[in-house]
């Protein structure tokens, strides 16, 4: 009888873990914007700071969850972008930068 209780508890814990993993994957998938549906601007960086970027003489503020991406689409640090680099910035409806990407 004791073994049956341990097996049942193990199954319950495994089920809870699976629910957690599925909910985490769903939340992550929803938090990454669909790049193909976002408006973007291509140009050269005039200035880059911790909260904003100037591309072709136009200032853009970062969204609270800005991503910096390589050409391959992997996440990289913002210090990989310098003045004079060509970039593509994806913006939201409020003209805030969601993604800074190497073209």
CATH number of the domain that residue 69 is part of: 2.40.50
Q: Which of 48, 55, 51, 57 is nearest to 90 (CA)?
A: 55
pLDDT, tens digit, 9 for 90 and up, residues 39-94: 789 999 999 999 999 999 999 999 999 999 999 989 999 999 999 999 999 998 89
Q: What is the mean pLDDT of residues 16-44?
A: 60
* pTM for this entry: 0.65
The pLDDT of residue 4: 52
Q: What is the mean pLDDT of residues 2-10?
A: 51
Containing domain of residue 17, as a range?
1-31
Are 39 and 74 in the same domain? yes
Q: How confident is the model at residue 23 (pLDDT cuts 50, 70, 90)?
A: very low
Are 41 and 24 in the same domain? no
Kindly report the length of the chain: 103
Are 5 and 52 in the same domain? no
The pLDDT of residue 79: 95
- Is residue 28's pLDDT more than 50? no
The pLDDT of residue 69: 94
Distance in angstroms (rounded) separating the CA atoms of residues 65 and 81: 17
Are 54 and 91 in the same domain? yes
Are 42 and 9 in the same domain? no
Are 50 and 68 in the same domain? yes
Number of domains in the chain: 2
Angle at Cα 79 formed by Cα 75 and Cα 83, nearest 5°? Answer: 120
Contact (Cβ atoms closer than 8 angstroms) between residue 63 and residue 95: no
The pLDDT of residue 39: 77
- Is residue 6's pLDDT more than 60? no
Are 61 and 90 in the same domain? yes
Are 24 and 46 in the same domain? no
């Amino acid at each position: 009888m004791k073994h049956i209780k341990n097996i049942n508890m193990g199954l319950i814990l495994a089920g809870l873990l699976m629910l957690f993993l599925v909910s985490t994957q769903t939340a992550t998938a929803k938090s990454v914007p669909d790049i193909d549906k976002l408006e973007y601007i291509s140009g050269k960086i005039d200035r880059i700071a911790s909260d904003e970027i100037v591309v072709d003489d136009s200032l853009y503020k970062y969204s609270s969850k800005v991503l910096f991406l390589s050409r391959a689409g992997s996440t990289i640090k913002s210090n990989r972008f310098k003045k004079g680099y060509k970039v593509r910035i994806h913006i939201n409806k409020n003209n805030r930068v969601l993604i800074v990407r190497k073209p």
